[in-house]
Structure 1
Amino acid sequence: MAGHFLISVPDHFPFVIWKCRRKFGAAQNVLDNAANRNREAEVLEMSEITKRLSRRKFAQLLGAGAAYTVAQRGVSWRTPLRAADTRRHFTSTPAGVVRLSANENPYGPSPMALKAMTEAFNISCRYPDEHADALIEALAKLNGVERNQILVGNGSGEILKLCAAAFTGSLEPGNNRPVALLPRSRGGALPSFIPGRGKMIVADPTFEAILNHARVNQAEVLKIPLTGSFSHDLSKMLAAANQGLIYICNPNNPTASITPKKELRDFLDKVPRDTMVLVDEAYHHYADSPDYESVIPLVKSHPNLIVARTFSKIYGMAGLRCGYCVAQPEAMQRLRPHQTWDSVNIMAITAAIASLGDADQVTNGQRLNRETKKFVTEELSALSYASIPSQANFIMVNVKREARPIIGALAQRGVQIGRPFPALPNHLRVTIGKRPEMETFLSAFRQVVA
């Protein structure tokens, strides 16, 4: 049959099984990434793909499976794709639409990162182990820690998933691992602290991907409302601590607000050692308040602290998926068994290494974000719409009425912004794009609220 390979099943059966597992694995990865971005349409689409894959014959998987997603979008696998075809069928945002919905960096990756990826094409046939080691070395040096205190992941989203897998779960008898199964040092000694699995404690609202991962583990998820100043209510979080995991997003998504550094330091000193704390610093490059600081230096004195970082924001690598965390080695021992081998691809790794060497990528990104954010917030203020003080690359605007209809009306005018947040039903989350994009947003916003 044209377009299909005929393979002797007895001779190649292991390869067929491997190919099928790769197909299911790819679909699952897209499901995970879509969930992390709260893109329900993509989750449903990939669920259907998974169902179809389960009914395809082995020979079809081998012969035409590689072109499956292309065919799904109306492109024949028999026809070679031209560059124009690729742009038409795989561009994530339709032409003329302003995308201010996902807190992405509109300026993209560093030129040095783009060059590094181009050069990495020639070694994409190789596993990325050596390059991953080089990235770990660079990150350890950047953060002033040892190599065994760095774990690189498929975006910080994977780091969050690993933390939920390792530290959350039901409190039913037998759920927490017995001491005999806990990771030991080379000398056979037990860790100096033994965090158990338990509930997930989060702010409301906050970044929700990790909540979904905790629920998969049948963990109780306890949401604690933000304070009146939109910081984490650390006293209530502390009172609720009982093993498990406390998640703190600082600066917080979706509010772009921070939790003051002194309050956070005091909180970390008081949290019981059998309760893990994950501080998500995805937006830390954008925070310029004197009341904000990274807690990475505190990892040295807090064995129950994990700090997550990402290359998706200031480094403009959201589509490449690369992140990492910093923690003490004993905490890393709890995370690593849950991670897929070589989960970060060689293109993302080489781009990340190059990005760390481009100081202008950070300073220029900070400046452009600061200038454009100032312009937008001043224009909104002139219209009598206030924003929560922002320490990120997005703003949360109080529109003084239900936000959902406004979100829909803006979408009809070609402007995509963040989804509604039940805890703040009268607020819009708007990513800071380029100046022309924000002018388009303001024009559409004026029409909608007039």
Structure 2
Amino acid sequence: MIQLASNENPLGMPAAARQAAADALAGAALYPDATGRALKEALAARLGVTPDWLVLGSGSSEILTLTAQAVVKPGEGVLWSQYGFVVYAQAAALARGEGRAVPAQRFGHDLKAMAAAITPQTRLVFVANPNNPTGTFLEGARLQEFLAQVPRETTVLLDEAYTEYLAPRQRYDAIGWLRAFPNLVVARTFSKAYGLAGLRVGYGVAQPALAARLNAIRPRFNVTTPALAAAVAALADNDFVQRTYELNRVGRAQLSEGLGQLGVETLPSAGNFVMACFADARGVHAALLRAGIAVSTLDNYALPDWLRITVGTQEQNAAVLEAVADAARA
């Protein structure tokens, strides 16, 4: 089965990360380093912060839920954009907050409407850039302007799970913004561009006071020994991340242009996936499964006519296009 449903890296794990994880198994009879010291030190050096700005999670999804639990009391407000990542609603529910999705603008964040929706009871706002599942992108200047409008008592979690896939002209310095915005948390992951989805490693970056609140409720051994070792090795493998970026840049164009030639509408994407609209999305999904290709339906986002297709290798993308063409002829 060609797995193109969950936005995983088609290159797999970096070789150095695989070896580091294997070597770390020798110590797996002992509990992991609860502080994640080696990984925090490596991240701190890369990001230009000190380790007390960092929170480690079992994937970045745990950073989302930890943030909600740390800053939201029962009945307080949590906002996200329509078509935002499903975990935002789950995080709000776990914190017993009052969640609300703000209507999207062209499938992406309407930052003006989101700012207007903030009330004195709003304690958390989720913003994803790029957004999953739509792939929409917000320019850095617009994000900074939005952050400046958010009251300091309202935390903003900027979800950058797909930031490594941004083109150079799209990139901005969210970590640098943290010094100006003590209510900002930036969440990132090793699951996507670094190829460690199965090992579950993510991290949050925030000013020390806010990071301490998250660390106070973080499960003590939430990241395993092999995962910590693999993440340190993956972080150092800049060549792997660059190869991942280039493969995705070319493959995303291959999928988008190929689907367009087949008369299929796609949204411009800044991530490692393409969202495509079909007259019979369920039928196309079933046809792809028969061809041995798994992609994601989007019924749980109230997008029943759309499929999200992870960018694969050139051969995998070609197989998708062939299967879609075959389904159209059937």
Q: TM-score category by the smaller chain?
A: over 0.9
Q: Structure 1's 303 and 297: CA in aligned 2 closer, same or farther, altered over 3 A?
A: same
**Please, which of 1, 8, 11 is the counterpart of residue 107 of structure 1?**
11
Q: Of residues 272, 276, 281 in structure 2, which corresponds to 1:403?
A: 281
In structure 2, runs of 5+ residues without a counterpart are none
Alpha-carbon separation, structure 2, partners of 1:221 and 1:131: 32
Q: Which of 130, 147, 161 is the equivalent residue of 1:251? A: 130
Matching of residue 221 in structure 1 with residue 99 in structure 2: yes
What pairs up with 1:125-144 in 2 under 5 angstroms? 125-129=29-33, 132-144=36-48
Larger Rg: 1
Kindly report which structure 2 residues correspond to 1:238-387, keeping only aligned pairs within 5 A, or say none: 238-242=115-119, 243-288=122-167, 290-387=169-266
SS of residue matched to 2:134? coil
CA distance in 2, matches of 1:374, 1:414: 22
- 2:296 pairs, out of 405, 418, 423, with 418
Residue 78 of structure 1 is matched in structure 2 by: none
- Unpaired runs of at least 5, structure 1: 1-96, 172-197
What's the CA shift for 1:130? 7.9
Q: 1:121-200 to 2 correspondence within 5 Å? A: 121-129=25-33, 132-171=36-75, 198-200=76-78
In 2, Cα distance between equivalents of 1:234 and 1:292: 18
Using the TM superposition, give the Cα deviation of residue 292 of structure 1 relative to its aligned residue in structure 2, in angstroms. Answer: 4.2
Q: Which amino acid aligns with 2:113?
A: K
For residues 87-142 of structure 1, the C-alpha deviation after alignment (integer angstroms, 9 at most, x for no partner) is xxxxxxxxxx2211000112111111111112212222233328820110111111
* Aligned residue identity for 1:205: Y
- Write the distance in 2 (CA, Å) between the matches of 1:342 and 1:216: 20
SS in 1 for 2:307: strand
Q: Is the 8 A contact 1:131 1:350 kept in 2?
A: no
1:27-57 Cα deviation digits (max 9, x unpaired): xxxxxxxxxxxxxxxxxxxxxxxxxxxxxxx
| 1:274-330 deviation digits (Å, cap 9, x = unpaired) | 100000000000011624424121011101000000000010000000010100111
Q: Deviations over 1:137-190 (max 9, x none)?
A: 11111111111001111111111110121223433xxxxxxxxxxxxxxxxxxx
Provide the C-alpha distance between the structure 2 equivalents of 1:402 and 1:121, rounded to a whole number of angstroms: 47
3-state SS in 1 of match to 2:266: coil
TM-score (norm 1): 0.70
As a proportion of its length, which structure holds more strand? Answer: 2
Maintained 8 Å contact 1:211/1:221: yes
Structure scoring higher RCO (CA < 8 A, sep ≥ 6) equals 2
Aligned length: 326
The Cα of 1:431 is off from its aligned counterpart by 0.4
1:225-262 alpha-carbon deviations (Å, 9 max, x no partner): 2212x331111111121331100110000011111211
RMSD of aligned C-alpha atoms?
A: 1.7
Partners of 1:226 and 1:305 in 2: how far apart? 22
